[in-house]
Structure 1
Amino acid sequence: MSLNDVLPNLGKPWWKVPHLLKLNLVLLAALLTPATNGFDGSMMNGLQTLPAWQEDFNHPHGALLGVLGTISTIGFITALPFTGYIADKLGRRLPIQIGNVVMIGGAILQAGAKNIGMFLAARFLLGFGISIAAVASPALVAELSYPTHRGKVTAIYNTNWFVGSIIAAWSTFGTFQINNSWSWRIPSALQCAPSVIQLVSSIWIPESPRWLIYKDRRDEATKVLADYHAGGDVTSPLVMYEIAEITAALSAEKEQSSTKFSVFLKTPGNRHRLFILVVLGIMQQASGNTLIAYFLALILKQVGITDGTAQNGINGGLQVVNYLTAISSAFLVDRFGRRTLMIFAFIGMFLSYLLWTIVSAINEKQNYSNSSMGIGVVVLIFTFNIFYAIGLTPIPFLYLSEILPYTLRAKGMMISSFSGVAIGLMLGLVNPIALENIGWKYYIVSVVLLAVWTALAWFCFPETKGRSLESIAEIFDGEDALVGDLKKEVELVHDEVVREKYQ
């Protein structure tokens, strides 16, 4: 028996099926988590163009500018050691709510900052809150989504980074003409908007059925799956199959004591998972994207685009293009596959960065006198971001949630986030210093790294499309490992559920 054997023939689009419409609407709340993070990077780009912000904080540059850009990352990494435990102990929904409360507090403090110390403290709190919510949110989305929607819905998750970045970019563009501190306080206050919306809407989010079963609350899990996957029918073959498969998988994982971090080192399959977790986290931050995300204004100045209005307009347009590209890619993950889109994106990013480096070198030799060269750099920045949005915005959270079994999902997300923010923290401090001192030559580092990432994705990242969360274990552990026993247990538990007809 497989998932395809129990999927109902709905006979109409999902948005005309009440329980699926309700499910995807409540999932919108969990999908909003990246918006606050996206707001942060885009806002910092915008604030650097505002004269009032520069004057209020004494024109930060070099190392201090690097700290301002990375202090939220420091807050993120400070919370990470606790996020996996919190998500496993309290469930998926409550950590999302806790994280949002912290983020709202940080945004309020940021908007009211009187000095650089308060501004730094506020940004630390924002990163701390994002970290708590960001581990639980994608796990909840993956674990609650309708089976045939999981790929697209989970891929959409990180595209909402651009929802926040678009709001931030255009809010700073709109306040650019204000000649006082409100030009930066208004965008700072708006950073709490996604968190307020998510906090309120999270009231209607159900708990993860996988977490409920792991906590021996199978009746509650059955009701959640019945309500949101089968319109309330607890005897639905789909619901019974899902309960059977989840119960069997969690039972097997518990027997193997696969709830500790050390289990990542015990088997070849888990070591492969660990490698992907660490590498993919680094790829998300060390592909040249952090330069653009936090220091676009500095890059544009180096190619002769010094007008603040033009810089804000480019930043705002870039975020819109990024979002449209990322959301389009999210709807293609089940057609082309996760691995294919990532490899395509890495090749495109490599070529874009290579050309960007060459054009920047020529531009410098001409003393930035040729305005068309500056325009060429802007075009290549847009091109690079389009490819990044195709492969590294929608796919990583989807891919990680799929390759990790339930008992390692939150911990694995934490490991990947830690590797990403650790390298992001380093780059955030190094980027502005390197750009100011060696200019375009610093881009060569990204060109080399992108070549390496392309090779690693090609040889080390298996395809996962077309499988249920539990059956993906077969790719890493083999048919004779966990999955062999799992299939037998699924049939046994399925027979039991059929007999009991859960009500």
Structure 2
Amino acid sequence: MEERQKEGIPQLRLNSSPVSPHTLSTPDKSPIVNASTAFLEDTTSHKGLAAAQAANDDEHALTFREATALFPKAILFSLGISLAIIMEGYDNSLLSNIFSLPQFREYFGKRLPNGDYQVSAGWQSATNAIGSVGGIFGLLLVGWMVERVGYRRSMHVGLALIVGAIFITFFAHNIITLFFGQLITGVPFGMFQGMASAYAADIAPLALRAVLTSFLNLCWCIGQFIATGAMKAALTRNDEWGFRIPFATQWFWPVPIAIIVFFAPESPWWLMRKGRRNETKAALKRLTAETMPEEQLENYLQLIDYTNEHEKHVQEGTTYYDLFKGSNFRRTEVAAMAWACQVASGIWLSGNITYFLEQAGFDSQHAFSFGLGMTGLTCVGTIASWFLSARIGRRTLYLVGLTGMLAIELMVGAMGIPRLSSGIGYASGVMLVLHSFIYSLTIGPVCFTIVPEVPSARLRQRTVVVARSAYQVLAIGANFLSPPMLNPTAWNLRGRAGFVWASICLIALTWTFFRLPECKDRTPMELDLLFERRTPTRAFKHAKVNAFRFTEHEMTAHTIQSE
């Protein structure tokens, strides 16, 4: 407030006069959502509020091409920080498939009566799952850290931690050391997940939000592709360096990412929450093109201020407790379940494709070739999803994706009933590749858009932390459940594991149909109003949002319509 007075900026205050909340509808029965419980007005004029309204209009009017021209540096910094997710995708794929390396099994496993070597299903499950436990600790740490020191410093702490953690896994000489190495490694990976999507959503204009947030899934896929390629190359070595070199490759990423983070600006939304208005404007300048008019930049600043003040009036705090109060409870549920659906979809079935195919009779070279082809297709699927998300929307892609994956899981399960043959093995492999492609085309990348766009701006980062923690808890269960299904010394279900995942996927599909709203083409202010008014799930897409009113007497709100 003092900073505004020094700058001579008109002060904004909340209108305390109540306006009765009416439930309205248009002739086509689309609901109208009004900003009637709280809105901002200038104490002397409409300048500040009109500027925020103009910026909101610009958000809807900007095309993808225009947005890339106006926000080139926002794209650069968002993509650069998202590269940290490559490391997590790499590590996840490495741990899922490294048990397929003969030299790894011989070094860490035990000899079976048939002369083969296997790491026990228990250690496979524990080593895969412990990274998720570390991830939860990392998420809780970064939730506390970002609120105090911001995204940039928190990212540098995470990058320093990952450099040290890699030493443990690289020099591991027994499965116990590898286990604890994965626990420590999971901490910075959890930190990256808690920051990357929230930062991307903070700095991305509406036209670029889906691409910049879902780019995280492409980074995940790139990491998996590199890991699969590294392990396929490692098959040419018969010594322990065959599995140590893939661990060492992870040291490539932290330094270039740290340099990008050093030059990146802090999130404007975080700075505004801290009352640092001058720095907020400076951050916006660093994210936008030099050709952006000063008036348009000021309008965006007013929109951030308007939204922040509105959310302060509605929810007051930014604590974890506030996530479960009022309309925020529904938003937290949507974010957490959207991420939980990734696990429930059954992606763990195709995620372990190399080990699955080896147990189905494939040799290691062919199994890794299948895996490499699959991860390459996931990159293609993620890029294709950017065009689908902009046209079809998030909710539809979730419904289509879960339905397709459910059908494939049932088919893989059915192929696991007859006696194993090479034909069934190849057919199962092809179906799993298709299974992974559907995931990367739909819920894989779309989830990274839904989770950071659903929360209020003030609670975005904490909501991402809670949502990702829900994912990690389910991932722990999936990591314990998946290896015994395929391990010949345990349940040995092979293709019949598809039936298990299909039943879980059906639960996710049911939740999506009844609870997942469509948030495409909605600004943070509009989403605030839709959730505050308890708009029905299937009415989100066509609701007309009156996001701005100048005073309670001038009920000439600007209507924003999403067709």
Structure-1-length-normalised TM-score: 0.89
Deviation at 1:260, TM superposition (A): 2.2
Pairing of 1:440-479 with structure 2 (within 5 A): 440-478=495-533
Aligned to 1:158: 217
Paired residue total: 479
Aligned to 1:277: 335
Identity of aligned residues (%): 22
Q: Identify unmatched segments of 5+ residues in structure 1.
A: 492-503
Aligned to 1:24: 75
Q: Per the alignment, in what secondary structure is the counterpart of residue 436 of structure 2?
A: helix
Deviation at 1:490, TM superposition (A): 11
Q: Per the alignment, in what secondary structure is the counterpart of residue 487 of structure 1?
A: coil
Aligned to 2:470: 419
Pairing of 1:19-58 with structure 2 (within 5 A): 20-58=71-109
Pairing of 1:273-312 with structure 2 (within 5 A): 273-293=331-351, 295-305=352-362, 307-312=363-368
Distance 1:429 1:7, change over 3 A: closer
Aligned to 2:398: 342
- Please say which of residues 158-167 and 141-150 is displaced more in the overlay: 141-150
Cα deviation code 1:77-121 (max 9, x no counterpart): 222322212122121222222112212222233222222233222
Cα deviation code 1:12-55 (max 9, x no counterpart): 945984x6333322222122122111101221244222222122
Aligned to 2:449: 398
CA–CA separation in structure 1 for the residues paired with 2:264 and 2:120? 43
Pairing of 1:162-311 with structure 2 (within 5 A): 162-231=221-290, 233=292, 235-237=294-296, 239-255=297-313, 256-267=315-326, 269-293=327-351, 295-305=352-362, 307-311=363-367
CA–CA separation in structure 1 for the residues paired with 2:171 and 2:427? 39
Cα deviation code 1:187-225 (max 9, x no counterpart): 101123333332222122111000011111111111221
Deviation at 1:474, TM superposition (A): 2.2
Aligned to 1:496: none
Deviation at 1:433, TM superposition (A): 2.0
Letter in 2 for 1:246: I
CA–CA separation in structure 2 for the residues paired with 1:490 and 1:379? 61
- Please say which of residues 106-115 and 211-220 is displaced more in the overlay: 106-115
Pairing of 1:360-439 with structure 2 (within 5 A): 360-362=416-418, 366=419, 368=420, 370-435=421-486, 436-437=490-491, 439=493
Letter in 2 for 1:183: G
Letter in 2 for 1:443: G
Aligned to 1:500: none
| Pick aligned residue for 1:487 from 548, 558, 562 | 548
Cα deviation code 1:334-378 (max 9, x no counterpart): 21111111111111111111111111112xxx2x1x311111100
Letter in 1 for 2:530: I
Alignment pair present for 1:358 and 2:358: no
Distance 1:179 1:303, change over 3 A: closer
Deviation at 1:484, TM superposition (A): 9.2
Q: Per the alignment, in what secondary structure is the counterpart of residue 206 of structure 2?
A: coil
Deviation at 1:133, TM superposition (A): 1.7
Deviation at 1:381, TM superposition (A): 0.1
Letter in 2 for 1:132: M
Deviation at 1:164, TM superposition (A): 0.6
Cα deviation code 1:444-488 (max 9, x no counterpart): 2211122222222122111111122232212211299xx999734
Cα deviation code 1:393-432 (max 9, x no counterpart): 2111211111101221111111111111111112211221
Letter in 1 for 2:253: P
Q: Per the alignment, in what secondary structure is the counterpart of residue 331 of structure 1?
A: helix
Alignment pair present for 1:87 and 2:143: no
CA–CA separation in structure 2 for the residues paired with 1:215 and 1:272? 26
CA–CA separation in structure 2 for the residues paired with 1:432 and 1:8? 47
Pairing of 1:306-325 with structure 2 (within 5 A): 307-325=363-381
Cα deviation code 1:256-301 (max 9, x no counterpart): 323122223332x3222122133223211222112332x3333213
Pairing of 1:13-162 with structure 2 (within 5 A): 13=65, 17=69, 20-58=71-109, 59-162=118-221
Contact 2:338 / 2:447 at 8 angstroms: preserved in 1?
yes
Q: Per the alignment, in what secondary structure is the counterpart of residue 207 of structure 1?
A: coil
- Please say which of residues 74-83 and 385-394 is displaced more in the overlay: 74-83
Contact 2:59 / 2:523 at 8 angstroms: preserved in 1?
no
Deviation at 1:379, TM superposition (A): 0.9
Letter in 2 for 1:271: F
Q: Identify unmatched segments of 5+ residues in structure 2.
A: 1-52, 110-117, 536-543, 553-563
CA–CA separation in structure 2 for the residues paired with 1:490 and 1:103? 52
Contact 1:78 / 1:128 at 8 angstroms: preserved in 2?
yes
Contact 1:223 / 1:234 at 8 angstroms: preserved in 2?
no
Deviation at 1:232, TM superposition (A): 6.5
Aligned alpha-carbon RMSD (Å): 2.6
Aligned to 2:22: none
CA–CA separation in structure 2 for the residues paired with 1:126 and 1:349? 30
CA–CA separation in structure 2 for the residues paired with 1:92 and 1:13? 28
CA–CA separation in structure 1 for the residues paired with 2:160 and 2:286? 29
Structure-2-length-normalised TM-score: 0.80
Letter in 1 for 2:517: P
Letter in 2 for 1:245: L
CA–CA separation in structure 2 for the residues paired with 1:484 and 1:47? 51
CA–CA separation in structure 2 for the residues paired with 1:27 and 1:198? 11
